[in-house]
Amino acid sequence: MYGSHLLIPRNASQHAAATRYRPDLRRLYASDPAVRAMSDFLHDPPMTAAEDCTLDTALDDMFRLGIRAFLVVRAATVVGLITAEDIRQARRGAAACVGEIMTAADDMPAIDWQTLQQSRISDLLEIFQGADVHHLVVLESESAQCVSVRGLVHRSRVERRLRA
């Protein structure tokens, strides 16, 4: 539904690892605002992969950058999400590139930016558990026809920061 208009924020650049903003990684509490758990692409540019990127290259890049997921893009439009776990599972099969195994944009687990701003960490935990997902894409409406990917929330990172 929103895949054809799902854009990377205008001021985000691809693979800017040398200048990446590091979000606050202090301990989280269930009552904290949910936005504290988000990687905000306005400050921390999203890591991306092309649909034709090989699985080995994508996994190597994830390992090198210390991340577990890439947005999959085609001409600055987000067409999907690929995780390290997706790649590990697919390497046993016949898939050769990211586009063959990614979660399509229409199927990505997502939360609206406005909803996230009104939510708590405990709300995120309920979503993760109820939907049995490991990432939530944060979407921000720019207009009725245009939605951008504002950020990403990683379940494992939230759980780790709750235990810190």
Give the CATH number for residue 123.
3.10.580.10
Q: Answer yes or no: is 84 within a domain.
A: yes
Q: Answer yes or no: is 136 within a domain.
A: yes
pLDDT at residue 16, as a whole number: 43
pLDDT tens for residues 55-104? 999 999 999 988 899 999 998 889 999 999 999 888 666 778 999 999 99
> Whole-prediction pTM value?
0.83
Structure token pair of residue 144: 């009725």
Q: Answer yes or no: is 21 within a domain.
A: no
Q: Answer yes or no: is 15 within a domain.
A: no
Domain of residue 79, residue span: 3-9+26-163
Spell out the residues 6+ positions from residue 124 whose beta carbon is closer than 8 angstroms to its own: 34, 37, 136, 153, 158
Count of domains for the chain: 1
Q: Answer yes or no: is 107 within a domain.
A: yes
Query: Do 52 and 83 form a contact (C-beta atoms < 8 A)?
Result: no
Q: Answer yes or no: is 16 within a domain.
A: no
Q: b/e per residue, 40-51, with b = 16+ CB within 10 A?
A: bbeebbbbbbbe
End-to-end CA distance of the chain: 38
